Every structure is written in structure tokens, then in C-alpha cells.
Amino acid sequence: MKKTLLSLALLCSGIFANAQKETSLSIKPAGDQMVSKHIYGHFSEHLGRCIYDGFWVDENSTIPNKGRIRLDVVAALKKIKVPNLRWPGGCFADEYHWRDGIGPRNQRPKMVNTNWGGVVEDNSFGTHEFLDLCKMLDCEPYIAGNVGSGTVEEMAKWVEYLNFDGVSPMTAIRKQNGMEKPWKVTFWGVGNESWGCGGNMTADYYSDLYRRYATYARDYAGAPLKRIASGANAEDYKWTETCMKNIGAGRMWGLTLHYYTLPTGKWDAKGSATKFDEEQYFNTMKNCLRMEEIVTKHSEIMDKYDPKKKVALIVDEWGIWTDVEPGTNPGFLYQQNSLRDALIAGTTLNIFNNHSDRVRMANLAQTINVLQALILTEKDKMLLTPTYHVFDLYKAHMDAKYLPINFTSPDYTLGDKKIPALNVSASQDSTGAIHISLVNLDPKNKISLNTDLGELKWKTVTGQILTSANLTDVNTFTAANKVQNAKFNGAKKSGNSLKVELPAQSVVVLELK
């Protein structure tokens, strides 16, 4: 009998140990802090099939296009209100010479893309084509200038070509190429990854070089530049310290940060995009969550030199980086996109929203057919990835007032390891509607939430959810809608409290009105 009671006690204790406790959240009214729409930016490099066979189709293609820009891709990106697009790189930016990509296409010189696959770049997609694309997307262009292999004069003349509305040799060439008035491009990157593929520079050397290049990248009437310095790789806090000290807050609009989530944490064997077990999933999410610490520490350094937070921290390369799909060119960085990637996207965007006092721009890498892509194409076929659907959900936060949240996350445990299972961000838009984005990283257990909204007034709650049966689930060209957003019915009003049953491995966005 004693043995039976002991067994029953142990069984009950196991059940209670695995039971999901209710988590309480409190959401405070908005202050002056805004969630910039530019946090939801994207990145398109001359890499693999992102530009060519992504945005840009062959001259005689039967795929619907306008001036060779693929229209189904444009429509999909307009739906999620892409706010800005970064181009031409990446590593490619520091070997790109802009004058090779203007004028009649049949006269443009060809080059070798030494960074990405050693393929021939025919320069048919250049400055005019990129800015036509941005106009079609109704987004702001973000151009990365060539510091690594370029010259001060080259960058200065590119800015003049884009932004000057007067008489000069560059404006004469622009008009000759069919553009009478300037585009007035304001987001301007001074180099890319200058610590690595952009020149393997020291922080001190780059800081001095930045000041020189930025001096000659002029402000023209109606187009004051938002100059962006090439910032740190992941946890290189010394780089940030040196740039803030040597460049100074008054000489740059933003300072970049690059951090990629590697499933294994190893660059030489990153792990598969689609074949992984729970242990590798756990490690991937642990590496994803490092973004919180990295952003916090870089922000603290910036605060020392810029307490008024005038300089934006711009995470203009982020996302999961896995091994390429078997049988594809290793230099093209083509990978599939699973529910795991959607959870990474939702988590990372929540981190950025919660640091929106300093993080005011970010760019997912990359838009089409490369790394954590929003869109995959195969000839005339196109599909939207799980990551795309997260951006569709989160667009509600763009240019909304940030709402502070306080909560303690339950743990997601695997063996003797644990990470926070829950991450959240919230905002209030110009109509007064409240949006709460919730991510449950735990693949087994739901989370019960009781949310106190305090002084915030609301009457109704609706929601959408992104989830699937398996973390490895993907959308394919034969099953393009396997992972997509659906109506969420797991939230209800109880007095002025919000009660939510958040399913395992899910992204949910609620709207309170």
C-alpha cells in the first residue's frame, strides 16, 4: 500500500511539474516612444537568386512584369508594407561600382561576383532599376556605398547623381539616362562589414575613413542624408565603443549591427533548414535569444556617448543562417523556411520593438531565395514562407506607440537546460487600437496568460495565429499554404483583464479595440 501511495505521489508530482502555470502580464499606457516602421525593413543583395530570378526576370520572360520587375513579388511585398529596402549588399556593396550599372543595358560592363558563387554579374539591374522597384513597392531605398574598394569621389558622385537638382556633370548624365528629377535618397550606408568582407579594417581606421567619406557625401536641397556607419559584428562591443567615441553622435544618423542565428553556433556546419530534432531546435532558439543581450549591451555603450539617443542602432542584417539546400550552389545561400524560422522572426521583432528607443531600423536577410527569405520562386511559381506571414501579422506595430510590458516568462526546459518560453511586445496605433504580439517557443506546452491592461480602455479582442503541427513544416511549390495565418479564438475579455490560451510553438497577434 505504501509503495502504491508513493508511486501515486511521484506520478502526481510529475504531472504538476509539467503543468503550465498561469503567467501574468501587465501593460502600461504609451509614452512618447514609437516603434519605427523601419524596424520592418528588408535586404536584397546581388547574391544567388535574390535579384536575378527573384525580383528581376529575363527580358523575354512570360512571367507578368513591369520593366522586368516581377509583379507577383511586388504585390506580396506591398501587402506587408515593406518600409525600406537595402541594396546592393552586403559584401557585394564593397565591390560594386555604381557607374557600371547605369546607361543602356547592352553597353554595361560585366563583372565577376567574387563574393557569391563566382558568377557573372551583367549589371542589368542597377541604380535606376532598384529605384524603380522601390517606387513600385512604395518604400524608401537604403543604399550601401562602396568604401572597401571604392573611392571618396565615387561615393560623392553617386550621392550627387541621386540627389542633386542643379547643373553638374552627374545630373547631366542622370538626365541623359532618363531621370530628369533626382530621387532624393536619404538612407545612406558608408560601407558594409568594414571589419570583414568590407575591407578587414580596424575600428580606429574605419572611424577615420568614415569621417572622410561622410564629409563628401553631401546634403543636397530636399535630401538631407541619414548617414549610417558600418557597425559591429555580433558581440564586438569594442567596435561600437570606438565608433561612438571617434565618429561622434553628431556625424552619423545610425550605427549598424549584424547578428545571425546559427542553429549549431558553428559557421562551418550550421545545421539543416528542415532536418533537425528538438535539441537542435532548442539550441537554435537559445542562439536567437542572444539578440536581446547583444542589443542591450551595444545600446548601453551608445548611451555613454549619446544619452539623448540621437543615433539609431540599425540591425541591418539578421535572421537564421543554415546550410544550403542539398544540390544548390553553396555560394547562393538558398535555404528553406520552416515554422522554426517564423518563431525566430516573431521573437526577434519583439526584441526590436521592446528596444525601439534605440533600435529604429532593421533589415531581415534576405527578401527572396536567400537565407531567411520572405519569398521563394521557381520559374513562374512563387510562394510565401512562414517568415513572410509573421511580417504580415506584425505590420500592425509599424509607427505605433510602444506599450511597456512587465511579466516573468515560464521556462521552456529540455533536460537540464532552459530558456524563456514566452516573449511579447505591444503597441497602440493612431486609432487607439492595441496590438499584442506573443510568441510561445515551447513545442509541447501551451501558456495561459492573464493580462492586466490597467488604464487602457478596450471592448473587443480578435486575433490571428501562425502555427503548424511540426517545427519542421515548410511551404513548398506543391503545398504553398501549409503554414499560414489563421483566425485565433483563444483570447477573451474578463472585466478589464485579457485571458489568453497561447498554443505551443505559435506566434499570435491580438487586436484590442
Query: Active-site residues: which are they?
Result: 193, 317
C-alpha cell at 322: 543554415
Let me know: does 86 contact 193? Beta carbons within 8 Å: no
Q: Do 315 and 362 touch, CB atoms closer than 8 A?
A: yes
Short-list 196, 437, 142, CA closest to 314: 142
Integer-rounded Cα radius of gyration of the chain: 24
Torsion-angle region of 241 (φ positive above 0: left; ψ -120 to 50: alpha; else: beta): alpha
Q: How far apart are CA 74 and CA 217, in angstroms?
A: 31
Residue in 129, 49, 128, 46 with CA at minimum distance from that of residue 94: 46
Torsion angles phi and psi, residue 35, rounded to 5: -95, 105
* Collapsed DSSP state (helix, strand, coil) of residue 375: strand
Query: Strands of 491-494's sheet, edge to edge?
Result: 405-407, 22-27, 447-452, 497-502, 491-494
CA atoms within 13 A on the CB side of 179: 21
Contact criterion met (CB below 8 Å) for 146 and 91: no
> With the CA atoms of 467, 472, 474 and 479 taken in that order, what torsion angle do they form, in degrees rounded to the nearest 10?
-90
Bridge partners (DSSP) of residue 155 are: none
Pairwise CA distance, residues 322 & 261, whole Å: 9
Neighbours of 448 (CB within 10 A): 17
CA distance 104 to 245: 45
User: Cα–Cα distance between 224 and 218 in angstroms, integer?
Assistant: 8
- Amino acid, res. 172: A
Q: Are 160 and 171 in contact (CB under 8 A)?
A: yes
Task: Give dist(CA 23, CA 28) in Å, integer.
Answer: 17
